[in-house]
Chains A and B, each alone.
Chain A
Amino acid sequence: MDPLHTIRRRVVILTAGFLALLLVLWLLTPYKKMVAGAGLGLLVSLYNVLYMARKVRLAGETTLATGSTRHRGTGMINRYLMVALAILVAFKYPMHFDVRTIVVGLPICYILIIVLEFWEVRKLRTTSGKG
């Protein structure tokens, strides 16, 4: 199976699980603003990871098709501006979101990618008898 598809599917499934957990916390606990802020950060994180995956895939396909290693951008400004947008939304609506907890949700998908890939490598080494 295509590694991009595998990684993307796992990250989306786990992030959906985290979002469901945050929804339960939002419903059951009195810390609604904080949980909503973390959820907003998590959504931005998911967008950033999916956008990054798309950019990496497109760059690879372009390089394979043309043979040229020159490529226009990795979409970094777009990702940073999404973070800025999330913080501005929380700043605009302080009755719904806590701005500081957005930072908690922002790196979660990046950490998920790293953990999932190390887990995959460990599994491969165990099955091949090297671990």
Chain B
Amino acid sequence: MDLTIIAGAIMLSFAAIAGAFGNAWVFGRYLEGIARQPEVRGMLFTQTFIGIALVEALPIIAVAFGIMAVLGIIG
């Protein structure tokens, strides 16, 4: 099997795992915060939005590069 495909698959899987853990952590804290103090949900929403954007920007790029590697476009 071509090593590029394995590299792409590893890149995809690690990006997905890292993104999932980061998202779950940010999202979990958001829900806990809303359940505890519903009156600050606007501020929590904004911070959660920024947090998920920060967490997810790099894994999305890594997923794109991983798919390109699997398809043989790069590498």
B-to-A contact residues, CB < 8 Å: 16, 19-20, 23-24, 27-28, 30-32, 34-35, 38, 41-46, 48-50, 52-54, 56-61, 63-65, 67-68, 71, 73-74
Contacts and interface: CB of A to CB of B under 8 A. Distances in A.
Nearest to A108: B57
22 contacts: A7-B49, A48-B56, A53-B49, A56-B30, A56-B45, A56-B49, A59-B31, A68-B35, A71-B31, A74-B24, A79-B60, A80-B19, A83-B63, A87-B71, A91-B71, A102-B64, A106-B64, A107-B58, A113-B53, A114-B50, A114-B54, A117-B50
Contact of B56 (A102, A103, A110): A110
Question: Which DSSP category, helix, strand, loop or mixed, fits chain A's interface?
Answer: helix
Nearest to A103: B64
Nearest to A49: B53
B63 to A, nearest CB: 5
Contacts of A107: 57-58, 60-61
